[in-house]
Amino acid sequence: MAALLLGLLLFAMQSPPLPSRPLIIIIGVRKGGTRALIEMLSLHSTVVAAQNEVHFFDWESHFQKGLPWYLSQMPYAFPEQLTVEKTPAYFTSGKVPKRIHQMNPNIKLLLILRDPTERVLSDYTQVFYNRLQKHKRYQPIESVLVKDGEINLGYKALNRSLYYIHMQNWLQYFPLESIHVVDGDKLIKDPLPEMKKVEKFLNLEPQLNASNFYFNKTKGFYCLRDHGRERCLHDSKGRAHPHVAPAILQKLYQFFHEPNRKFFELVGRTFSWK
């Protein structure tokens, strides 16, 4: 009897506990529209979203706390509900796919991507404002983007926009069918069709409809309507990007041309960015 109990205990210690409720992760990309996606998804009655970015699989200090800690970060959900969390840094963090796979190889993942050049400008804008808030100086965009007349390959934001490199890593652990790519540019222009695709991918009852979204002229973006209550995303979402000299912008678009082609090949579909 004691041996049986010990055996059971050892078994329980070896196999990580699976989340008791279906969990969906929005893995990125940073500045792709991840906040818009999670907010729009949580308009659905069977989706409950974690408020904060959990950073479990990418931050060692969190990861060491173990899966029970991760699951304890999730909001309360009823048995029939899905829980969703978003941590945009997962997509570009090399160790994350293996870790998520170890937790659940059958998990459904959402990835929202936008034009890689726009994403770089958005990334720059975010860091710029973060530094401004801390009263720190930041280099002008052109001196970050270009070094010695060429695109500055050392600029981290560029790497985050090399989608095929990161996607290759994810596809080593998950089949393409497990990762739904949301078109972030389309989500900005017309959110409903993109959200209907997400509903379908997650096998959710079709619920989202045109009345859930309305265009707010002042913000210049779609806002959300939830049972009559209207709300837009925070002011830090949808900020103007800095002006970049057309010649540099052109260089940037050219720089991404080949990596984009490789990404399209990898996922078997194209996007408006070329």
Q: How far is the CB of 206 from ligand A3P (least distance, A)?
A: 21
Pair 252, 152: CB distance under 8 Å: no
Q: How far is the CB of 12 from ligand A3P (least distance, A)?
A: 37
Residue 213 region by backbone torsions, left for phi larger than 0, else alpha for psi between -120 and 50, else beta: beta
CA distance 263 to 176: 12
Which residues have C-beta within 8 Å of that of residue 64, sequence separation ≥ 6? none
- Residue number with CB closer to ligand A3P (48 or 121): 121
CA distance 99 to 114: 25
Q: Does 125 carry a binding-site annotation? A: no
Which residues have C-beta within 8 Å of that of residue 145, sequence separation ≥ 6? 120, 151, 152, 155, 244, 248, 252
Which residues have C-beta within 8 Å of that of residue 2, sequence separation ≥ 6? none
Q: How far is the CB of 183 from ligand A3P (least distance, A)?
A: 11
- Residue number with CB closer to ligand A3P (21 or 241): 241
Give the count of beta carbons closer than 10 Å to the beta carbon of residue 124.
22
Q: Does 70 carry a binding-site annotation? A: no
Q: Is 65 a catalytic residue?
A: no
Q: How far is the CB of 130 from ligand A3P (least distance, A)?
A: 12
Q: Does 2 carry a binding-site annotation? A: no
Residue numbers of the site for ligand A3P (CB under 6 A)? 31-36, 88, 122, 125, 187-188, 221-222, 233, 237-239
> Among the options 31, 86, 108, 251, which is catalytic?
31
Q: Does 229 carry a binding-site annotation? A: no
- Residue number with CB closer to ligand A3P (19 or 238): 238
Residues annotated as binding site for 3'-phosphoadenylyl sulfate? 31-35, 114, 122, 222, 237-241
Q: List, by residue number, the catalytic residues.
A: 31
